[in-house]
Amino acid sequence: MSRGNSVAFDASRGLSSMIEISWSSESAHEVAAARKKFEEYTRQGWLAFMVASDNSNVQIYEFEPAIEKIFLVPLAEGG
């Protein structure tokens, strides 16, 4: 089943929106598109997370096609 890349913005968080990217690991095209987005955002300083089997958020540092869904969150600016 092909789900394609799904990008959803959480408007309730204002400018620090979260992006969700999902894909089918069986589709080379979807994996390539998801990898490209992962690399594009993480190069800009965004953090990537997956939801583990125990429903905890786990930060990931490398793209892994088998995950099939990640969340990208921008770093907070200022201090």
pLDDT given for residue 78 in this prediction? 53
Mean pLDDT of 14-21: 73
Q: What is the pLDDT of residues 18-75, one digit of tens each?
A: 899 999 999 999 999 999 999 999 999 999 999 999 989 999 999 999 999 999 999 8
Q: Examine the pLDDT at 10 and tell me if it is beyond 90.
A: no
pLDDT surpasses 90 at 79: no
Confidence of residue 17 (pLDDT cuts 50, 70, 90): confident
Name the one residue in this structure whose structure tokens are 């092909």.
2
All residues at 6 or more sequence positions from 68 whose CB lies less than 8 Å from its CB, including other chains: 22, 23, 24, 25
Is residue 37 within 8 Å of residue 23, measured between CB atoms?
no
